[in-house]
Chains A and B, each alone.
Chain A
Amino acid sequence: MSQQITLTIDGQEITAQPGDKVLWAALANKIYIPHLCAIEENHTPFASCRLCFVEIKGYPSPVTACTETVQPGMAVTTRSPRVDRLVRTGFEMLMTNHRLECNICPANHSCALQRIARERGLSLKPKELPLLERNLPVDDSAPGIIYDPNKCVLCGRCVWVCKTRGAGILGFARRGFDRMVTTFRDAPLAESNCNYCDVCAGVCPVGALTIKCMS
């Protein structure tokens, strides 16, 4: 490969490939940065979850690590009062819009939201903001997959993977607060052209798309 780049993250010197994004360079070196929407193979990052904020020396304000390309000598800090505040607010906003039922959720213990809460000492239950419940129907029509849109954080990972590796039946529809992951004309999965390949459930970070237990 071409010449490696050396940079520091939280004072730790690390090396990365030219063109790498800060987020992946950090994660590869066991430095945790909260993230939900990022996909390493996708070279045009969505930058939609707004949780991977970091400080970079010389930048006036925090930036998203998933969109920043590593530069030689770059000095990245993953924590600062400004970063912590943005992550706290962004996370809290998401949690007002995520049905919280960890004890019965198949993603319990593997959920990215739980990890973020643990790593950053945040509460899963929103403290400042009221809940914004959507009360959408849960789709368990498919033989292998359950889709609970009330848990979806709209990261878009399932849509991307369904398009690139699956049957291309998942997509985003509508906009604003009503934006959601859905199928053509909002059909239940069993009535769509879903081939139940499960790749979506494999990439869902929060238990909105999960594999049905065969018990």
Chain B
Amino acid sequence: MKNDNHDVSSALEKIKICASASWQPLLEKPLIMVGAATCGRAAGALEVKRTIMAELERLNIDANVLEVGCMGHCYAEPLVVITRPDSDFPPICYGYVTEGIASRLVQDYLGEGDPCLEYALAAMEVNDFIPTMADFPRGLIEKKIIMDYCGLIDPQNIENYLATGGYKALCSVLRQTPESIVQTMKDSGLRGRGGAGFPTGVKWETCLKADAKEKFIICNADEGDPGAFMDRTILESNPHKMIEGMIIAAYAVGAARGYVYVRAEYPLAVERIRLAVKQVREYYLLGKSILDSGFDFDIEIFQGSGAFVCGEETALIASIEGEPGIPHHRPPFPAIAGLWGKPTIIDNVKTLCYVPHIISRGADWFKSTGTPESPGTAIFALAGKVVNTGLAEVPMGTTLNQMIYDVGSGIAGGKTFKAVQIGGPSGGCLPESVLETPIDFDSLKQVGAIMGSGGMVVLDQDDCMVEIARYFLDFTQKESCGKCTFCRLGTKHMLNILENITKGKGAPGDIEKLLTLAEDIKAGSLCNLGKTAPNPVLSTIKYFRDEYDAHINEKRCPSLMCKDLIAYYILPEKCERSCDACVGSCPVEAIFSNEDRIKVINQEKCVKCDSCLLACPPQYRAVVKLSPPEEVAAREKGKK
């Protein structure tokens, strides 16, 4: 496919023709797309695909089957989208597809023309029969920019990406000066989506102006926040978009080499990027003299070895250099002296994905979405206690309320909302009272959380806020590199205090101690891991101080979560004599029937695993948790 023509755009035109030539036939036959990103696979997507293939063969139906990525509706995985070009129906998305449903879809829809609307989630195009995604509250709020084709194209096939207009921005960029690209990025107001929200164009400008022969660009895909999976989904669903953004960035700052720093815990993402890079090279969009423009750039993949602190720029660089991921003092900033001492740009996956869009459609178009200070969209991984978990791309400025109740469809299981955790270990827990806060870099900071990279975990009445704070401190303490005094020892002291509180060993004055330590750790730590580590504690004390007080003063966990402060108890008046579901469920044989055939828990043996509570049939609900554990004795005494 190498072209002798030196005109960049005609080179791309040729590639595009080839791409649509391979895309077009797909639309001539029925097309079945199976969402097979990690989330889909875990829910059984590959089995569903196997069933579909087998059924097609059995019924002798000619159709194309594509493995696609994830469109964000993870709650309904496995997802299947079926297009029948010979029917009046639009492409239909089916959710919660089992192997049984899959074979029915093939038989009934492809075989007999009945689209099985009872399994349909929504239509993918406006039509007269079925509501589309946009007809649901979530669809009204969502605005997909960088996730536009996630779950709708085959991530393993570059031609799919080219057919959607991919690499067009790169092509136009190669005819511009680096300065003008940097100017466009500055004009767009794009802020880094890794968490801190630093203006991307300004960072690029610093690097462009830095006088050095060699420069580097690194895509930070070391998504380390527990509870976040945006980058993983994007890389698994449409890796070429990030790669295009990266090549443009390299051209803009004058880098000849780039690294994708991706977590080894994301094997599928690694595989997808590796394949994508190989394909891009084959199309002369990467390597020596890209599209005959004279611009050289190549990408290497570096697998992160599992250290949250490597999300910090200087630690990430240290790890590529073969060192432990230990941060260095800044300045110098990486844009001036980064990898091997050379000017280096480090951008998050999502940041880079916006780049082709901004180049193609302009800075003003980008600014028309979002808020003036935080233009564009935000991508959140919505998890925890909401009904519809998944990935959502919404305009900046959307409120937390809309995210939780419209996008997430509210709290699951009829429970009540307690808090939303945003920003992972560097973020905070926000209560109901601030849910009207718009999502943008500055507003979230004001209420005690951070934008972070996009993890949003919703917590309900069963989640103890002291325990959540302890969980995050435990995380940062384990992930601290241990270099500087405040982070290594300060977070350890904070963790010890929190552990004592959750075990009922808290003492008056502990809250004040935590607050003082938090303030000093924020001011004294070397890097942002330490500087932000106290945030989960500060926000929970600010908004949920009464829970701390209950633990400290009454040795009671109001949410019945802290293991040392609860006991499982079977209400004798509710226990059904003929039922012994709980007895069988107990892994340690701690439940026995008393002389009245009422079940009783041996508290000495009980390991508090929750099995009996789950096993007790809903019509009885006889198993309860009590706090403090002394309640059990009190009840038994009262009974006698």
Contacts and interface: CB of A to CB of B under 8 A. Distances in A.
Interface string A81-113: 010011001100110110000000000000000
Interface string B498-541: 00000000000000010011001001111000000000000000
Interface in B438-490: 477-486, 488-490
A175 B482 contact: yes
B520 A89 contact: yes
A46 interface: yes
B477 A176 contact: yes
Contacts of A157: none
Contact of A49 (B477, B485, B490, B496): B485
B493 interface: yes
Nearest to A85: B520
Interface in A33-74: 44-51, 53, 61-62, 64, 67
B493 A62 contact: no
A51 B478 CA distance: 23
Interface string A154-168: 100000000000000
B493 A172 contact: no
Contacts of A53: 524
Contact of A90 (B478, B482, B486, B492): B486
B524 A50 contact: yes
A8 B315 CA distance: 34
Contacts of B513: 128
Nearest to A126: B493
A185 interface: no
Nearest to A180: B482
Interface SS of chain A: loop
A44 B492 CA distance: 27
A96 B489 contact: yes
B486 A50 contact: yes
Contacts of A90: 485-486, 520, 524
A132 B329 contact: no
A61 B490 CA distance: 19
B572 interface: no
Contacts of B199: none
B195 interface: no
B479 A176 contact: yes
A48 B489 contact: no
Nearest to B526: A47
B489 A97 contact: yes
B44 interface: no
A93 B490 contact: yes
A93 B485 contact: yes
A53 B484 CA distance: 13
B328 interface: yes
Contacts of A172: 324, 482
A111 B486 CA distance: 21
Given A50-B525, A64-B329, A177 B492 contact: yes
Contacts of B520: 85-86, 89-90
Contacts of A179: 481-483, 488
A21 to B, nearest CB: 11
A48 B493 contact: no
A65 to B, nearest CB: 12
A174 interface: yes
A154 B496 contact: no
A19 interface: no
Contacts of B477: 176-177
Nearest to B330: A67
Nearest to A87: B524
Contacts of B496: 130, 132
Nearest to B520: A89
Contacts of A175: 307, 324, 479-482
Nearest to B486: A50
Contact of B329 (A51, A67, A128): A67
A107 B484 CA distance: 23
Interface string A121-136: 0000000111010000
A176 B485 contact: no
A64 B331 CA distance: 12
Contact of A176 (B329, B480, B486): B480
Given A44-B328, A86-B520, A96-B493, A176 B482 contact: yes
A179 B485 CA distance: 11
A172 B483 CA distance: 10
B483 A48 contact: yes
A173 B533 CA distance: 22
A15 B625 CA distance: 70
B324 to A, nearest CB: 7
A59 to B, nearest CB: 12
Interface of B: 307, 324, 328-329, 477-486, 488-490, 492-493, 496, 513, 516-517, 520, 523-526
25 contacts: A44-B328, A47-B328, A47-B526, A48-B484, A49-B484, A50-B485, A50-B486, A61-B523, A64-B329, A89-B486, A90-B486, A96-B493, A128-B513, A129-B493, A132-B493, A153-B485, A154-B482, A154-B488, A172-B482, A174-B482, A175-B479, A176-B480, A176-B481, A177-B488, A177-B489
Given A49-B485, A50-B525, A175-B479, 20 more contacts: A47-B484, A47-B526, A48-B526, A50-B484, A85-B520, A86-B520, A89-B486, A89-B490, A89-B520, A89-B524, A90-B486, A93-B490, A129-B493, A130-B493, A130-B496, A174-B482, A176-B481, A177-B477, A177-B480, A179-B483
Closest 5 CB pairs of A and B: A179-B482, A93-B489, A89-B520, A47-B329, A176-B480
